[in-house]
Structure 1
Amino acid sequence: MNSVLLVSDQNGVRTLTMNRPDKLNAANDELLLGLTQALQDAETDPSVRVIVLTGEGRGFCAGQDLGDVAGRDTTFTEHLNHTYNPLIRTLRGLSKPVITAVNGIAAGAGASLALAGDIRLWSESAKFIQIFSNIALIPDSGSTWMLPRLVGYHRAFELMAFAERVDAEQALALGLCEHIFSDGSFRQDVQAYAERLAQRPAHALTLTKQALNAALTQSLSASLDLEAELQQQAGDHPEHREGVSAFREKRAANFVNLENRLV
């Protein structure tokens, strides 16, 4: 429990828990670099089908631990390029689904991290705040790219300009999260959701992520071409054959450990 990052595995789900609860999981270099490495490790581990990122205690992540960078002879640009930017690029580039389970306050770069999941699950007491303008900085760690795509330019600017606090119900209405779970059962509900996702066809979801990420920055014509290419890859995979067989046999498809059942 002395580690700044806790790692646990259960039924194909790897949970990464930021573990600085006394500081609401405010990020220092050790946590940021460790989290990037842990995500890379999860990507290459065949037993991991879904990744959950959450926080210990009352906070998800309160952003940068300012005490950790006080007095350093380093620029903002250097710090971002060494810590946050590799983390966000790694998280968004994973082939496996990532759930950000926002259990409490997500502020500053922690708010950026909360947005970066493929699916965002919030506890009823979770809060989101783009707090950067309170100390006369701009939103970073991907917020200027992600937030306008979720809520539109104008609402994103307002949230950033006024450092407006958003609660869970507002977040759901704005599209900042997909589901809200009660505080008392949050971890169990997140685990159950993640395990359900882990039963889905992993290869097809990898291709789905690839298509969705590409579609954010390309034309409809390019997306149609990519869909056709990726659909062929999906159709050639054993998952597809299992899905079709299950449909014909009127049973639930079993996409887990499929390679061990091939003759």
Structure 2
Amino acid sequence: MTSTDYTAQSFTTIIVSAPTPSGVTTVLLNRPTQLNSFNHAVTRDLQLAFNLLSEDERVRCIILTGAGRAFCAGADLSTGTLESDKPVLEHRDEGGQVVLSIHRCKKPVIAAINGPAVGIGITMTLPCTIRLTHKQAKIAFPFVQRGIVPEAVSSWFLPRLIGHSRALHILTTGEVLPGGHRLLDGLFSEVLEGPEEVVRRANEIAEVIATKTSAVSNYLTKAMLWHQKETPEETHLLDSRIMAELYQGADKKEGIQSFMEKRPPKFTGSVEKDLPSNVPWWNEVDTRFRKQSKL
């Protein structure tokens, strides 16, 4: 079993809790005096954390939240303006690198947006499985007001989550909106009354995921939604292939047996060992820059 001592990691901007007995881990953005703003160190820490958590078989669900009154106030501009120190073709958006780490994580991730989430502060949550916030949390995608474009893969995720019409409105104006605004309908699965309720509710949901659901089923469900086939017929063939192999799995047997016996399930399936043989059915793209050798 792969496991990690998170206190031994060299994190400087986040705190990663040890998994609870049920398998819930919290990743806490921990720069409260800077409103958890995003910089190079946050990029490094979040990428490392989600890569480690993805492989830690003790972990069944992850909560991402912020220390203090903010979730993440966006890019840290205190050290100067945003710019790249690499040639154009070598540049990789740091927010996008974090988003892809979360997107590829094998565990469900709940974003508990307890306060302002601006720019990368909100776009980093788009690949999360579940997003929670409260009615007055300040949410903004301000890129056009800064003379840039939507980053962190948000032009791909956002319209798929809330539709092109609302996404274009939000991205074209760059306005700050309260968490309960109608333009954000569909972005958050729950909008709570106040910030103190957000993390509490995230823990309740995480506990359900950790104790009552199959890790293999959750991984496959996420993959089927984000890596869809082009037609209903192709999707039917994919569903059928996956179901046929899962019928023989230990988690399916436990799911049925625990239901019939009216007891909580004890799923033992592993994403590392028990996935159907056709995974991945999608094309995995290597985003690293590679210099072409000269002949």
TM range (shorter): 0.7 to 0.9
- For the Cα contact (< 8 Å) 2:13–2:42, is it kept in 1? yes
**Which stretch shifts more, 74-83 or 99-108?**
74-83
Moved over 6 A (4+): none
Q: How is 1:71-150 mapped onto 2 (pairs within 5 angstroms)?
A: 74=85, 81=92, 83-150=94-161
Cα deviation, 1:40-74, whole Å, max 9, x if unaligned, reads 11011110001111111111112211234548661
- For the Cα contact (< 8 Å) 1:95–1:209, is it kept in 2? no
Cα deviation, 1:210-258, whole Å, max 9, x if unaligned, reads 111112x633222222211221232222111011112332x13413457
Which residue number in structure 2 is paired with residue 239 of structure 1? 251
From the superposition, tell whether residues 154 and 126 of structure 1 become closer, same or farther in structure 2 (CA, over 3 Å): same
TM-score, structure 1 length as denominator? Answer: 0.88
Q: How is 1:23-62 mapped onto 2 (pairs within 5 angstroms)?
A: 23-62=34-73
From the superposition, tell whether residues 241 and 187 of structure 1 become closer, same or farther in structure 2 (CA, over 3 Å): same
- For the Cα contact (< 8 Å) 1:53–1:100, is it kept in 2? yes
Which residue number in structure 1 is paired with residue 265 of structure 2? 254
CA–CA distance in structure 1, aligned partners of residues 88 and 111 of structure 2:
26
- For the Cα contact (< 8 Å) 2:114–2:196, is it kept in 1? no
Q: Give the drift of 1:126.
A: 1.9
- For the Cα contact (< 8 Å) 2:27–2:64, is it kept in 1? yes
Which residue number in structure 1 is paired with residue 77 of structure 2? 66
From the superposition, tell whether residues 76 and 21 of structure 1 become closer, same or farther in structure 2 (CA, over 3 Å): farther
CA–CA distance in structure 1, aligned partners of residues 167 and 230 of structure 2:
22
Which residue number in structure 1 is paired with residue 292 of structure 2? none
Pairing 1:212–2:225 present = yes
* Paired residue total: 257
- For the Cα contact (< 8 Å) 1:60–1:103, is it kept in 2? yes
From the superposition, tell whether residues 256 and 68 of structure 1 become closer, same or farther in structure 2 (CA, over 3 Å): farther
**Which stretch shifts more, 96-105 or 225-234?**
225-234
CA–CA distance in structure 2, aligned partners of residues 78 and 66 of structure 1:
24
CA–CA distance in structure 2, aligned partners of residues 248 and 14 of structure 1:
30
From the superposition, tell whether residues 113 and 49 of structure 1 become closer, same or farther in structure 2 (CA, over 3 Å): same
- For the Cα contact (< 8 Å) 1:207–1:234, is it kept in 2? no
Pairing 1:4–2:17 present = no
From the superposition, tell whether residues 76 and 212 of structure 1 become closer, same or farther in structure 2 (CA, over 3 Å): farther
From the superposition, tell whether residues 172 and 198 of structure 1 become closer, same or farther in structure 2 (CA, over 3 Å): farther
CA–CA distance in structure 2, aligned partners of residues 205 and 178 of structure 1:
17
Runs of at least 5 residues in structure 2 that lack an aligned partner in the other structure: 1-6, 271-295
Higher helix share: 1
Which residue number in structure 2 is paired with residue 222 of structure 1? 234
When the two chains are superposed, the root-mean-square deviation of aligned CA atoms in Å is: 2.5
Which of residues 205, 209, 216 in structure 2 aligns to 1:197? 209
Which of residues 180, 192, 202 in structure 1 aligns to 2:191? 180
Q: Give the drift of 1:204.
A: 1.0
Higher strand share: 1
Q: Give the drift of 1:172.
A: 8.7
Cα deviation, 1:92-147, whole Å, max 9, x if unaligned, reads 11221111111111111111112221111113432211111111111110111111
